[in-house]
Amino acid sequence: MKIAIVTGGSNGIGRATALELGKRGISVILTYNSYKERAEAVVKELEKNEGVRAIALKLDLTQLSTFDGFVQEVKTSLNQIWSRTTFDYLVNNGGVGGPMMLADMSEEYFDKILNTNFKGPVFLTQHLIRFMNDAGAIVNTTSSSKNQSFPGYSVYGSLKAAFSSWTRYIAKELAPRKIRVNAVSPGPTHSNFGDGAFDKHPEFIRPLAEQTAFGRIGQPDDLAKVIVSLLSDDFGWVTAQDIEVSGGHLL
Ligand SMILES: NC(=O)c1ccc[n+]([C@@H]2O[C@H](COP(=O)([O-])OP(=O)(O)OC[C@H]3O[C@@H](n4cnc5c(N)ncnc54)[C@H](OP(=O)(O)O)[C@@H]3O)[C@@H](O)[C@H]2O)c1
């Protein structure tokens, strides 16, 4: 029996990933930041529909001082629910976006994007790999924006590029333990990103769909299937890769 930790499992791509893991019989520890009730609904769905055990824990990736407490909660849950001291897979998915032009940029904005999308996942991974099984796997969620230059996304895109590069470095560091580290780069995806930007502004969708070879934007499931496949032994000979999952955005 395998156990996965998925950050940002309350919404969007992380939620879909948690459900896809459940379909494949993998137990899930998912985290939420603001939406506890949505996270608990994912846990209920996993337990009722997929018959796997799951729990939801609060994690704010910007609050590094809380990571020791989070790790303690994970260890207690592993012990009490699964009679285990280790877990198998980590999906570093939680993140925030939102554009800001350089001329208007505040340090607060910069730090939020930095801490959530890069610094937080780096130090969280440092904490968690201490009790991750050898031959496990990690998938990081970066972004196709790392290779683009849409105005307003300079910091977000640059930090996703950093996260992508970090994926390669850590793949090498963890290779002696046979832990594979890969990434997915979503293109525009209809999640809750931007606190529901695509639901609040459906007019944003069409232009992005028109830029996409397959004529639509992504759905969380499109990403979840790739993330869970990358974790699986089918990709046992693949490490240090960042795969764009965008249906051909700007192809
Ligand atoms: N959607 C896109 O078009 C797109 C494109 C490229 C890359 N991505 C990347 O895909 C990943 C998943 O995003 P999504 O599209 O699924 O968006 P989403 O629906 O908004 O989900 C984001 C998840 O991250 C969590 N999160 C937000 N701030 C956090 C924090 N400070 N600490 C810990 N968790 C936090 C959220 O938790 P709560 O909801 O509970 O607050 C939520 O579960 C992100 O890394 C994002 O950068 C998305």
pLDDT number for residue 184: 99
Burial category of 155 from C-beta neighbours within 10 Å (exposed 0-12, middle 13-18, buried 19 and up): buried
- Residue-level pLDDT at 35: 98
Ligand 1 pocket test target in 30, 141, 212, 221 with most atoms within 8 Å of CB: 141
Ligand 1 centroid to Cα of residue 240, in Å, is 22
At residue 90 the predicted structure's pLDDT band, cuts being 50, 70 and 90, is very high
Is 70 inside any structural domain? yes
CB within 8 A of 182, min separation 6: which ones?
Answer: 137, 138, 139, 140, 167, 171, 230, 235, 238, 239, 240, 241, 242, 243
Rounded CA separation 3/46 (Å): 13
What is the mean pLDDT of the segment spanning 106-122?
A: 98
Q: Is residue 222 part of a domain?
A: yes
How far does Cα 86 stand from its chain's mean position? 20
In this structure, are residues 27 and 2 in contact, taking their beta carbons and an 8 Å threshold?
Answer: yes
Range of the domain at 120: 3-245
pLDDT digits 0-9 by tens, 135-189: 999 999 999 999 999 999 999 999 999 999 999 999 999 999 999 999 999 999 9
- Residue 209 in domain: yes
Query: pLDDT tens across 195-232, in order?
Result: 999 999 999 999 999 999 999 999 999 999 999 999 99
Ligand 1: centre distance to CA 67 (Å): 18
Q: pLDDT tens-digit profile of 18-56?
A: 999 999 999 999 999 999 999 999 999 999 999 999 999
- Cα 83 to Cα 90: distance, rounded to the nearest angstrom: 19
Counting other chains too, the contacts that 241-244 makes at CB distance below 8 Å and 24 or more residues apart are: 241/182, 241/183, 242/140, 242/142, 242/164, 242/167, 242/168, 242/182, 242/183, 242/184, 242/185, 243/182, 243/183, 243/184, 243/185, 244/144, 244/184, 244/185, 244/187
Q: Which residues of 193-211 are buried (b: 16+ CB within 10 A; e: fewer)?
A: beeebbeeeeebbeebbeb
Q: Does 160 reside within a domain?
A: yes
Residue with CA closest to ligand 1 atom 46? 95
Confidence of residue 89 (pLDDT cuts 50, 70, 90): very high
- The ligand 1 site (C-beta within 6 Å) comprises 7-8, 10-14, 32-35, 59-62, 93-97, 116, 141, 143, 186, 188-189, 191-193
Do the Cβ atoms of 52 and 23 come closer than 8 Å? Answer: no
Q: What CATH code is carried by the domain that includes residue 24? A: 3.40.50.720
* Domain assignment present for 250: no
Residue-level pLDDT at 86: 98
CB 246 within 8 A of CB 212: yes
Residue positions annotated with a catalytic role: 156
CA distance 71 to 31: 12
The answer to whether residue 41 sits within a structural domain is: yes
Q: Name the average pLDDT for the chain.
A: 98
Of 161, 172, 153, 129, nearest to 242 by C-alpha is 161
For atom 48 of ligand 1, which residue has the closest CA?
A: 186
Q: Is residue 251 part of a domain?
A: no
State how far the Cα of 46 lies from the Cα of 39, in Å rounded to an integer. 11
Cα–Cα distances (Å) from 202 to 190, 206, 234, in that order, read: 10, 8, 37
pTM score above 0.75: yes
Determine the distance separating the centroid of ligand 1 and the alpha carbon of 93, expressed in angstroms: 7
Whether 133 maps to a domain, the answer reads: yes
Q: How many domains does the chain have?
A: 1
Residue 57's pLDDT is 99
Alpha helices per DSSP H over 34-181: 36-45, 67-82, 107-114, 120-128, 154-174
